[in-house]
Amino acid sequence: MSSEQDDIDIDTSSAGRSGSPAPSLYSFSSIDGRLMLRHVYGRMLNNQNDTYFLPADTEEHRRLDLQHQVLTLALGGLFPAPNLVRRALTPRPGKPPAILDVGTGSGSWAIDMARQFPHTTVVGVDLAPPGIDGDLPPNCRFEIDDANLGFLHYQGAFDVIHARSVSAGIRDFPLFLEELSQALCPGGVVLLGDGDMQIYDEFQDAVPYAEEGTPEFSWTHRVFFAAYNAMKNRGGSIDSASMSPTWLRAINSYTDVGWHKVFIPIGPWRYSNQRERLLAEMLREDCLRYISGMGPLLLSEGYLPESVDKMQREAAAELRELRVHLHSRWTFAWAVKRP
């Protein structure tokens, strides 16, 4: 894979859970263009009394839609390791290839994959139903499930498994990777992607902690630093982005482990063409929305409301006014299940 040293830098290299997992509770699919809720055992809940609408965070789903566009543009497609993915999804007689999207969020990636590979079946799972605008492809459905409960009900069921931006919600990431391997069929591909909570400077070096009033201080870094510690305290696998290649190599059922990292400027303080400017602007907007939604998390950690408001306000001003030159780093990793 080539490296880009302008606005985006891609560096290519290879490199307490329940013991009795429960099945998915509900499944979402499209009937006559309408999103319906179906019990996992197959009964359609399609009358007025049996149709349920579960709560979902519309603003967060919109942010995840934007993040999906950012990463698709940064990768130049929906997934890394395209040769491995396309090989795993090659049409074949009998059962169609199957794709699982863990932590599907707004469902954008799952829906785009269903459209790009109409000969496959795509399942997206998350703790809440996705926000769907428009018709759902007939080969795509969504299920409410908790990845921390494992995937024993999906033994050997999928040819591609995708898990992106799930680290904060996974308690034991190495065990999670083991369980994904069990849900893969031989030759299947697992795809991982996550952004660092660490912020990087204009030279792509990690920004160190600094006190307010010092030359190195950044409100944007302070917000992300506080959020990192809050998520860590809640048991999330926040360091999985950098550790995933090592963890994949330690699992005997995986082979052909690879990874690459992508640095993207937060805001158009640096770009050499319109594509790179658009990408930086989109990522800045994604970060602004992310920061604006951190309030409840930081308040739950004991920060005073006025402190949270100041952090959010000052960080947003830094990014909008391009007072700081910062990068976000995304790491993508993949592996193939041994035959």
165-186 confidence digits (pLDDT tens): 999 899 999 999 999 999 999 9
Q: Which DSSP symbol is given to 155?
A: T
Q: Residue 284: inside a domain, yes or no?
A: yes
% of the chain residues with pLDDT over 90? 72
Q: Which of 80, 70, 68, 67 is nearest to 12 (CA)?
A: 80
Range of the domain at 154: 9-337
- Asked whether 7 and 279 are in contact (CB, 8 A), the reply is yes
CB neighbours of residue 304 within 10 Å: 10
CA torsion 254→83→7→166, rounded to 10°? -40
pLDDT of 291 strictly over 90: yes
pLDDT of 38 strictly over 70: no
The predicted model scores a pTM of 0.84
Q: Residue 3: inside a domain, yes or no?
A: no
Distance CA 57, CA 43 (A): 27
Q: Residue 201: inside a domain, yes or no?
A: yes
CB neighbours of residue 111 within 10 Å: 24
pLDDT digits (tens, 9 = 90+) for 199-240: 999 999 999 999 999 989 999 999 999 999 999 998 888 889
CB neighbours of residue 161 within 10 Å: 24
Please report the DSSP string for 6-35 in residue order: SSSEEEEE-----SSPPPPSEEEEEETTEE
Q: Residue 2: inside a domain, yes or no?
A: no
CA angle 296, 200, 173 (to 5 degrees): 60
Q: Residue 204: inside a domain, yes or no?
A: yes
Q: Residue 35: inside a domain, yes or no?
A: yes
Q: Residue 4: inside a domain, yes or no?
A: no
Q: Which residue has the tokens 């790179």?
A: 276
Distance CA 220, CA 236 (A): 21
Q: How many structural domains are present in the chain?
A: 1
CATH number of the domain that 56 lies in?
Answer: 3.40.50.150
Q: Residue 310: inside a domain, yes or no?
A: yes
